Structure 1
Amino acid sequence: MSDRTVGFFALIFAGLMAWFGHDLQAPFSYEPVGPRAFPMLIALIIALCGAWLMYKHWHEHSHGKHIDWPRLLLMMVYIFGYAMLFETLGFIFATAIVTVLIGRLFGGTWGKLAIGGVLMGVLFFLLFDRALDVVLPLGPLESLL
């Protein structure tokens, strides 16, 4: 799959995520940032990555690549699974698992991805749950924290 194609789909996905996430409001305000902060920040990160991929493609002048539909569809399945297991597994575990799975699609090694996935899950949890007061599910870790 070409970088341009992945970047294009990432920008579309980020736009949709921002569009749906922009109107999220809690019926009562118990968080200073509100429920829209998480999807909007993730949409921004996805959009920046998509824009970088498109720039990289045009900068390198690579041509003749095709869309790797199985990998693209598998990535969508992983994202859907993440959304479905988010509450049950908790933010940290679900984020670590989806990071590893998507990283494997792009050729990452198990060890580096496991470390990166756990770090991403923990650091984003601390950022959103602790620093921004966006309540995130802990799943099995709830009894420990």
Structure 2
Amino acid sequence: MYVRLFSAIWLLLCVWLAFVAWGFEAPFAYDPVGPRAYPLLLLALMGAGSLWLIFKPGLMEQQLHIPTVKRSVLCVVALLAYAVTFEPLGFILSTALAVFVLGLLFTGRLVPCIISAVLMGVLLFVLFDYLLDVPLPLGVLEAFVES
């Protein structure tokens, strides 16, 4: 019952956010599809998932496993921390920290989590900033990089 209630509330939130996202406009044409395509796509996928859970909750009706709930809550907290630290710390550090924490949450070993976190932060920055020309914040690392 709680899954269906949560899914219905989430579906209403997705519909409201879709109306908000429909009004997104860029002051200049930097992307052929515009700034609203990505949020609308994500909202459509979340809405479809919500509809699925409303009509066919399936295994979600079973009892919740407490360690899994704790891990899920910590995952959401890590992603919120990633969003908050994105600008001040910069893309590389905030991404590395998020990947490290999420790796540990999904039972990763310490050293591989550190290595993959550093590689993910640096390689994704190079991919987006240099190859795809998407400007990303450097945050605290801005002092070490020449413009």
TM bucket (normalised to shorter chain) is 0.5 to 0.7
Aligned-pair CA distance for 1:141: 1.1
Question: Which residue number in structure 2 is paired with residue 101 of structure 1?
Answer: 101
Q: Are residues 75 and 135 of structure 1, via their aligned partners in 2, closer, same or farther at CA, if it must alter by over 3 Å?
A: same
Aligned letter for 1:130? Y
Q: Are residues 140 and 21 of structure 1, via their aligned partners in 2, closer, same or farther at CA, if it must alter by over 3 Å?
A: farther
Aligned-pair CA distance for 1:140: 1.1
Aligned to 1:128, the other structure's residue is in SS state helix
Structure with bigger RCO (C-alpha 8 Å, 6+ apart): 1
Rg: which structure is higher?
A: 2
Question: Which residue number in structure 2 is paired with residue 131 of structure 1?
Answer: 131
Per-residue CA deviation, residues 29-52 of structure 1 (Å, 9 max, x unaligned), is: 4x5677679889xx7xxxxxxxxx
**TM-score for both structures, normalised by structure 1:** 0.59
**TM-score for both structures, normalised by structure 2:** 0.58
Amino-acid identity (%): 44
Question: Which residue number in structure 2 is paired with residue 88 of structure 1?
Answer: 88
- Residues of 2 paired with 1:37 and 1:133: CA distance? 19
| Alignment gaps of 5+ in structure 2 | 1-9, 43-62
RMSD: 3.4
- Residues of 2 paired with 1:21 and 1:114: CA distance? 36
Q: Are residues 65 and 71 of structure 1, via their aligned partners in 2, closer, same or farther at CA, if it must alter by over 3 Å?
A: same
Aligned-pair CA distance for 1:23: 7.5
Query: Would you say how many aligned residue pairs link Structure 1 and Structure 2?
Result: 110
Question: Which residue number in structure 2 is paired with residue 71 of structure 1?
Answer: 71
| Alignment gaps of 5+ in structure 1 | 1-11, 44-63
Question: Which residue number in structure 2 is paired with residue 5 of structure 1?
Answer: none
Aligned-pair CA distance for 1:132: 1.0
- Residues of 2 paired with 1:22 and 1:119: CA distance? 36
